[in-house]
């Protein structure tokens, strides 16, 4: 059970003056149960790659398989394979259209042809996942909600499809810290509970190291790094910087400490886990700090 890309190449507007090669032969396999962060600077081919993963784009060369089913072409098998890959685009709230939150979330399940009672169940479940109270919000207009709430409605609209693979393109862009943490907390819960694969496209190294258990760096239409985020940030700094990516702040501190001879375990994910490791290594007394409740390492 995986999404598998074999030597995928993609060219936009081939044979015109605007021809542009976006992917130059990418091979990648993502298993169910993985939480993958996909990073790369603007124009590196990320967006093309994720659109190929759910069949919105068909590779110019190479194949894209979901659960061994080729995504190219038409037919029921292709359609059902594509529907296994949920896709949350950038600024998904811009795609809301229905009169009520319920109707918008129900759009996907209804397109799949479920009965109305199944649809209602899925909508309730999806709303619960994004932490929107059904009775309060289901019959409101999505356009009256706040930005963060609108985004959660849009994410619920994809989650309601009950996909095995979930791709999110910068789900935290333009959100305030509370909404952002909220969305990620919900996402992690969904990920753990359903054992699906999450592919997170992000520009934030902090998010990548904090949530993902695999990191894929793409540059110039090719995969340049693929591995555990901790390994990449510790041991592949040069390649990372060469593809115009940065490292998380925590790893800058960690590298500084290492160069001064303080070896800390390699499972540091954020400020809180660094502090905990420091306390342990240096024998400092843990002190109850205020306002740090949410700062725990979530993933793994």
Partner 1 sequence: MLSDITLGQFYPGNSLIHRLDPRTKIIWTLLFIITVFLAEGTFSYLFLIGLVFGIIGLSHLPVGMVLRSLKPLAFIIVLTLGIHVVTGIGSDVLYKWHFITITREGIELGIKMSLRLILLLVISSILTFTTSPIVLTDGLEALLRPFKRLGVPAHELAMMMTIALRFIPTLLDETDKIIKAQTARGADFNSGNLLQKAKNMLPVLIPLFISAFRRADELAIAMEARCYRGGEGRTRMHELVYGREDYGSFAALVILIFFMAWLRWRAYLPW
Is residue 89 close enough to count as binding partner 1 by CB under 8 A?
yes
Q: For partner 1, which is the closer residue by CB, 107 or 137?
A: 107
Token couple for 24: 């130059």
Q: How far apart are CA 168 and CA 211, in angstroms?
A: 13
Instruction: Pick from 44, 83, 84, 202 the residue near partner 1 by CB under 8 A.
Output: 83
**Neighbouring C-beta atoms of residue 128, cutoff 10 Å:** 14
Is residue 86 close enough to count as binding partner 1 by CB under 8 A?
yes
Is residue 157 close enough to count as binding partner 1 by CB under 8 A?
yes
Token pair 């939480």 is found at: 35
User: Which range, of 108-116, 186-194, 236-244, 245-253, touches partner 1 by CB under 8 A?
Assistant: 108-116
Is residue 118 close enough to count as binding partner 1 by CB under 8 A?
no
What x/- string results for residues 159 through 188 when contact with partner 1 is judged by CB under 8 A? --x---------------------------
91 to 94, 123, 170, 254, 274: CA distances (angstroms) = 6, 21, 8, 34, 32
Q: For partner 1, which is the closer residue by CB, 158 or 187?
A: 158
Is residue 51 close enough to count as binding partner 1 by CB under 8 A?
yes
Q: Does residue 88 contact residue 168 with C-beta atoms inside 8 Å?
A: yes
The footprint of partner 1 on residues 243-272 (CB under 8 A) is none
DSSP-assigned states of every residue in 14-45? TTSTT-EEEEEEEEEEEETT-EEEEE--TTSS
Is residue 111 close enough to count as binding partner 1 by CB under 8 A?
yes
CA-wise closest residue to 267 among 299, 240, 292, 238:
299
Q: How many Cα atoms within 13 Å fall on the side-chain side of residue 277?
A: 20
First and final C-alpha spacing in the chain:
20
Is residue 297 close enough to count as binding partner 1 by CB under 8 A?
no
Tell me the number of residues near partner 1 by CB under 8 A. 28
Is residue 158 close enough to count as binding partner 1 by CB under 8 A?
yes
Residues that bind partner 1 (CB under 8 A): 12-13, 17-18, 20, 51, 54, 56, 82-83, 85-87, 89, 92, 94-98, 107-108, 111-112, 143, 157-158, 161
């Amino acid at each position: 059970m995986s999404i598998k890309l074999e030597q995928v190449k993609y060219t936009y507007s081939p044979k015109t003056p605007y021809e542009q090669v976006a992917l130059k032969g990418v091979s990648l396999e993502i298993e169910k149960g993985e939480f993958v962060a996909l990073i790369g600077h603007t124009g590196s081919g990320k967006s093309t790659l994720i659109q190929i993963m759910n069949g919105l784009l068909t590779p110019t060369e190479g194949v894209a398989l979901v659960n061994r089913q080729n995504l190219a072409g038409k037919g029921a098998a292709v359609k059902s394979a594509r529907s296994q890959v949920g896709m949350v685009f950038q600024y998904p709230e811009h795609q809301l259209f229905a009169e009520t939150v319920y109707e918008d979330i129900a759009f996907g399940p209804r397109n799949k042809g479920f009965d109305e009672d199944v649809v209602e169940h899925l909508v309730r479940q999806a709303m619960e996942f994004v932490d929107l109270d059904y009775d309060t919000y289901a019959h409101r207009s999505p356009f009256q909600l706040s930005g963060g709430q609108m985004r959660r409605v849009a994410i619920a609209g994809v989650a309601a499809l009950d996909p095995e693979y979930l791709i999110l393109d910068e789900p935290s862009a333009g959100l305030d810290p509370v909404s952002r943490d909220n969305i990620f907390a919900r996402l992690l819960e969904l990920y753990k509970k359903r054992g699906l694969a999450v592919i997170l496209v992000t520009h934030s190294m902090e998010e990548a190291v904090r949530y993902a258990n695999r990191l894929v760096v793409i540059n110039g239409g090719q995969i340049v790094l693929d591995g555990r985020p901790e390994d990449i940030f510790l041991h592949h700094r040069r390649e990372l910087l060469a593809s115009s990516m940065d490292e998380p702040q925590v790893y800058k501190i960690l590298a500084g400490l290492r160069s001064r001879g303080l070896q800390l375990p390699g499972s540091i994910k954020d400020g809180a886990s660094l502090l905990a490791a420091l306390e342990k290594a240096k024998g400092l007394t843990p002190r109850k700090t205020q306002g740090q409740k949410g700062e725990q390492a979530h993933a793994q």
